[in-house]
Amino acid sequence: MHPRAGTVAQEADLIDVDRVVGAYYDLRPDPENPAQRVVFGTSGHRGSSLDGAFNEAHIVATTAAIVEYRREQGTDGPLFIGRDTHALSLPAWQTALEVLAAAGVTVMIDARDSYTPTPAVSQSILLHNEALTEAGVRTSGPGLADGIVVTPSHNPPRDGGFKYNPPHGGPAGSDATGRIADRANEILAGGIATVPRISLEAALAAGTTHRHDFLTTYVDDLASVLDLEAIRSAGVRIGADPLGGASVEYWGAIGERYDLDLTVVNPQVDPRWAFMTLDHDGRIRMDCSSPSAMASLVATMRGTTTDAASSGPAPYDIATGNDADSDRHGIVTPDGGLMNPNHYLAVAIRYLFSGGRPDWGDGAAIGKTLVSSSLIDRVAGGLGRKVVEVPVGFKWFVPGLLTGEVAFGGEESAGASFLRRDGRVWSTDKDGLLLALLASEILATTGRTPSQHHAELVAEYGESWYARVDAPASREEKAALSALSPSDVTATEVAGQPITAKLTEAPGNGAKIGGLKVTTADSWFAARPSGTEDVYKIYAESFVSAEHLTEVQAAAREVVANALT
């Protein structure tokens, strides 16, 4: 933990916006340098212009690759494009539009020339594709829409990000991102001068460029997925903190449209994020699941400031935060502070499946990533619901959400979405505004905060201790970890308990984990290599004690070390 974690950023912590944006245009990436090539992770290509990892050449090449990919797939409908509030997002958005317009792609840009949350892009794609047929959302055939979101999510201010959402509306799968990245790197190596491109002025004036009201489309449709009348009638006092992100104008519009007692806690947008409190490592990061990054909102709920010890009455019944592209949520309650994301997911699942959504089918399943808490499994067991456990990445929930076979999909990193009240798909990407508003619906309809609901779950299913830590690993060790098979694990117990399963494939869909998960009756751990650092990540949980969790983590290191030798 950094000594200044949870304190407001100082001048030395802030980026020089002009330098970051200047580097976007001035630096030329080296295609032979792996650190400066296009690489799609679980949420698109990310990097900093200052490192030669997110520059104009990357966006020209990647957009050109997307143009080719959508043609190969027969995707000939409009492309919806949105951006967040990072300093590099507007330049990259402009570059992409110049390439898309030159290629004759019909592009839907924000009618307000403003920011667009990731879930609003996903929803607009799905609404367009749903209107093409009477049989739900169509993902093949003519006229289909897709999208691009220019965002590095919760990454620090110096970073940029660029992700592609195919016609299913969610994050692109590895097949698509692999082909797009490979082609983009070919274009980088050959030189971007061959890519057709027109000026920004010409692109904005092109007959293929249209304005789309993402905000009104999203806000007016929220009543189909949430009981907003219950929130209004109960008079729930909501404090919504956009954390300087793309939801900044959406929250005010939601409050006004549905006559909610909703305050936008901090409407400021600053590409330096000078108002943020530092994350655990001393960096500015808009992670709404981090107690350090959310320290200001937590202090507001205590009726004080981040550096004061006294407390007063909470100004809101529920306070929420979102990251820069609003696909993640943070829930703060007067009685519990910032909720652990796993705890809130379990609460949301029990509420929605135990009567909160009576029109959902009895067979609709619960989706979770394999590194999410086993409390979810215990809650699902109590509800008699099937759990679909998938690898890390929201893309794995997309097929089930589209068909309604999965009614809720959630990640341990505070990302989730769920079906409309009538059982139709809402979004196939994470929706931080949706989950934030659900907390107020839960309070309005049950009279208890999500924290109180979690206490009930603990009383029924037991308390758990959960953490993620990193361990050093060379590139060779990371590659070996990704290629492990269950037979490579010779251990028979973990922290004094017999091993019940050794997994290298997700039980929900048989997809490769890219690592290892080991379970016992009261604990589990999962180990996955980092895609950007020479470490591997150890996720672990114990239903025994905090001390037992430490033992599980130690055992995880030993099991992985032995398996790699």
What is the model's pLDDT at position 532? 63
- What is the tens place of the pLDDT at every residue in 130-141? 999 876 777 788
> pLDDT above 70 covers what percent of the chain?
98
Question: Where does 168-311 show beta strands of DSSP type E?
Answer: 209-212, 237-241, 261-264
Q: Inform me whether the pLDDT recorded for 489 exceeds 70.
A: yes
Residue 307 clears pLDDT 60, i.e. is over it: no
β-strand partners of 502: 518
Strand bridging mode 535-542 / 465-472: antiparallel
Residue 279 DSSP symbol: -
| Contacting residues for 193 by C-beta, under 8 A, at least 6 apart | none
Q: Taking the CA atoms of 61, 63, 69 and 74 in sequence, report the sign of the dihedral they define.
A: negative
State yes or no: pLDDT of 2 exceeds 80: yes
What is the mean pLDDT of the segment spanning 98-104?
98
- Provide the β-strand partners of residue 364: none
Contact 488, 515 (CB under 8 A): no
pLDDT of residue 89: 98
pLDDT digits (tens, 9 = 90+) for 284-295: 999 999 999 999
In CATH terms, the fold of domain 13-217 is: Alpha-D-Glucose-1,6-Bisphosphate; Chain A, domain 3 (3.40.120)
Say yes or no to pLDDT of 311 above 70: no
pLDDT digits (tens, 9 = 90+) for 37-83: 999 987 789 999 999 999 999 999 999 999 999 999 999 999 999 99
At 244, list the tokens: 């300087």
Query: Mean pLDDT across the stretch 357-385?
Result: 96
Mean pLDDT value across the chain:
95
- ∠ CA 353-355-360, rounded to 5°: 60
**What size, in residues, is the chain?**
565
Match 């492990």 to its residue by tokens.
484
CA trace torsion 4, 8, 13, 15 (10° rounding) = 150
State pLDDT tens for residues 88-100.
999 999 999 999 9
Task: Pick the range with the lowest mean pLDDT from 203-207, 328-332, 490-494.
Answer: 490-494
pLDDT of 426 strictly over 60: yes
Model pLDDT for residues 28-44, shown as the tens digit of each residue? 999 999 999 999 987 78
Burial class (CB in 10 A: 0-12, 13-18, 19+), 86: buried
What is the C-alpha to C-alpha distance for residues 336 and 331, in angstroms, rounded to an integer? 10
Of the pLDDT bands very low, low, confident and very high (cuts 50, 70, 90), residue 308 is: low
What was the pLDDT predicted at 192?
Answer: 97
CA atoms of 316 and 303, how far apart (whole Å): 10
HSE of 458 in the Cβ direction (CA atoms, 13 Å)?
Answer: 13
Segments of 406-549 assigned E as strands: 406-411, 415-418, 465-472, 493-494, 497-498, 501-505, 512-519, 523-529, 535-542
Burial 499-535 (b: 16+ CB within 10 A, else e): beebbbebebeebebbbbbbbbebbbbbbbbeeeeeb
Helices (H), 146-173: none
Identify the band that residue 306 occupies on the pLDDT scale cut at 50, 70 and 90. low
Question: Would you tell me which CATH number, out of the four given (3.40.140.10, 3.40.50.300, 3.30.310.50, 3.40.47.10), belongs to the domain 465-564?
Answer: 3.30.310.50
pLDDT (tens digit per residue) in 239-274: 999 999 999 999 999 999 999 999 999 999 999 999
What pLDDT does 138 receive? 75
Tell me: the pLDDT tens digits for 11-22?
Answer: 999 999 999 999
Tell me, what's the pLDDT at 534?
79
Q: DSSP characters for 352-399?
A: IIIII-TTS-TT-EEEEETTS-THHHHHHHHHT--EEEE-SSGGGGHH
Domain ranges of the chain: 13-217, 465-564
Tell me how far apart the alpha carbons of residues 212 and 217 are, in angstroms, rounded to a whole number. Answer: 9
Greater pLDDT, 44 or 329: 329
3-state helix/strand/coil string of 204-235: HHCCCEEEECHHHHHHHHHHHCCCHHHHHHHC
pLDDT of residue 49: 98
Query: Which tokens sit at 561?
Result: 């070390």
Task: Provide, rounded to the nearest whole percent, the portion of the chain with pLDDT above 90.
Answer: 88
C-alpha 398/C-alpha 129 separation (Å) is: 15
8 Å CB contact between 145 and 78: yes
Residues forming the active site: 153
| Residue 419 pLDDT > 90 | yes
